Amino acid sequence: MNSPLETTPNKFWEGTKETVKTVVYALLIAGVFRTFLFQPFWIPSGSMKDTLLIGDFLFINKMAYGYSYASCPSIRIARLGIDISAEDFCGFLKTSDHSRIFEREPKRGDVVVFRHPTSGEDYIKRLIGLPGDRIQMKDGLLYINDTPVVVEPAGNFTEISEQQGPQGFIPRCANSTAPTGYVPGGQECVKERAIETLPASDGGDPVVHDILNIGNQPLDNTGVFVVPEGHFFFMGDNRDNSKDSRVPQGGFDGGVGMVPFDNLEGRADRIIFSSAGRSMLYFWTWRMDRFFKAVD
């Protein structure tokens, strides 16, 4: 007959092994879910206002375009010096023609999360240009294949000039008299809002969505961008507050340039939760009207 001194350590180690197994299984299930089905994404900046606001929380559909190396997770914890990219995990999936497994072509107007072609950071923008398209901005108006898109004024978008989200960004405003585009804290910040209609890329209905502008900016007039095969052209809906494909990779302020097909992670379909505060725990800042809101 075993004594308590002999059985207690055995029970302890058996319990520890079961706990470790449970944690490992949970991580594996979470990894599979995040890689192949849906990935959580928290909106950190205002480049997609007013379609997406800082503090919106959504799941992106990883099945929408098939799978590539970018479908794999990345682990970045700056405080611990951990930086493991999706390419570190799944670089063997990269191909010279940017193809994907079970690939499906994105549609113009989709709101897409993708990996920045050089930094590997996650970005979320609207897909504007398909392979072969000619894209240009003239006086703030978007031209696709030498044809201006339809834009209709839709009043103003207003918010308070204050720090927003965990990173404390302050919005730039059309009613500012300062070169920086800021107004004093606590005052009303106004942007011009318009409804833009993008021509359908698949014979379906055009994509209608809001865009915001703060006035004449350097990227309101560009040359013609020709989208190469296997790549896409992206822009933010908050046109004067967006780092996007209008600036080449390596250009000023973190340009995105043309984004390869295999850098796409998934499509944003629906906002699950939204908080206007510096933390999602501040329940008094929750935006109840944005829960389960479709992304148009």
| Distance separating alpha carbons of residues 225 and 123, to the nearest angstrom | 20
The pLDDT assigned to 16 comes to 65
Average pLDDT over residues 133-140: 97
**Helix (H), strand (E), coil (C) string for 11-55:** HHHHHHHHHHHHHHHHHHHHHHHHHHCEEEEECCCCCCCCCCCCC
| Confidence grade of residue 25 (pLDDT, cut at 50, 70, 90) | very low
pLDDT in tens, 101-111: 999 999 999 99
pLDDT in tens, 219-265: 999 999 999 999 999 999 999 999 899 998 876 566 899 999 999 99
Q: Is residue 13 part of a domain?
A: no
Whether the CB-CB separation of 127 and 108 falls below 8 Å is answered with yes
pLDDT in tens, 150-196: 999 999 999 999 998 877 889 999 999 898 889 999 999 999 999 99
Indicate if the pLDDT at residue 18 is higher than 80: no
Higher pLDDT, 77 or 289: 289
Indicate if the pLDDT at residue 116 is higher than 70: yes
Average pLDDT over residues 206-231: 95
The pLDDT assigned to 33 comes to 44
The pLDDT assigned to 120 comes to 87
Instruction: Look at the chain and report how many structural domains it folds into.
Output: 1
Active site (annotated) includes residue 62: no
Pick the catalytic residue from 45, 47, 71, 274. 47
CATH value at residue 85: 2.10.109.10
Q: Is 164 helix (H, G, I), strand (E, B) or coil?
A: strand
Average pLDDT across the chain, whole number: 87
Q: Is residue 228 part of a domain?
A: yes
Pick the catalytic residue from 49, 62, 107, 125. 125
Q: Is residue 3 part of a domain?
A: no
Active site (annotated) includes residue 47: yes
Domain limits for position 220? 36-294
Q: Is residue 16 part of a domain?
A: no
| Confidence grade of residue 135 (pLDDT, cut at 50, 70, 90) | very high
